[in-house]
Amino acid sequence: MWLHPETPPPWRTPGVVPPPGGPAAVLFDRDGTLVVDVPYNGDPDQVRLMPGVPETLARLRSAGIGIGVVTNQSGVGRGLLTGDDVRRVHRRLAELAGPIDVWAVCPHAPEAGCACRKPMPGLVRGAAGHLGVEPRDCVVIGDIAADMGAAAAAGARGILVPTPVTLPEEVEAAPERADDLVAAVDLALAGTADPVGR
């Protein structure tokens, strides 16, 4: 697992604390959640934000809530991407969407059997630890079952935002779901799980 930036940032503005009962941090899947999914993308020019991303992240920052990205990037392990490629894409995403407090990246191929590739809990635990918060105080937002599995395995709350690649059984099994990113963050900030309000 890679975490960058390597030094934990002073991500919370002094005097700004999250609303009572809400999450300390929201951890987003990258591809299909924050950006349009381009398989094995190492080209910053192909980064396209999903609808509502800059405004949604700005809302979290203003509320004193940490922002992280937890992403499987098996293209590195498969030899299709380099770590520098991944970081260039992340820099472009941050240029478009604003600062991200922590990036937690699994660079391994699926057959590596690592503890960080979602649905394993390593990325969620690593990002939470980097931010100095507990996984149970985090919400994970993503578009497939692996994101929800990683949240559950780490003890975090998971909210699914389905896309055309989300399987019907993944939608049905999701602990919570929302129609889009804005609605998912509305749910996250509500402070309690709402499995019915889908």
In degrees and rounded to multiples of 5, residue 154 shows phi and psi of -90, -10
- Vertex 188: Cα angle to 90 and 183 (nearest 5): 80
Q: Using CA atoms, how far apart are residues 34 and 55, in angstroms rounded to an integer?
A: 12
Count of other CB atoms within 10 angstroms of residue 193 = 15
C-alpha distances out from residue 144 to 2, 27, 55, 154, 163, Å: 21, 14, 23, 16, 8
Return the active site residues. Answer: 29, 31
One-character DSSP codes across 8-50: PP--SPTT--PPTTS-SEEEE-SBTTTB---TT---GGG--BP
- In the numeric block, the tokens 């990002």 are attached to 127
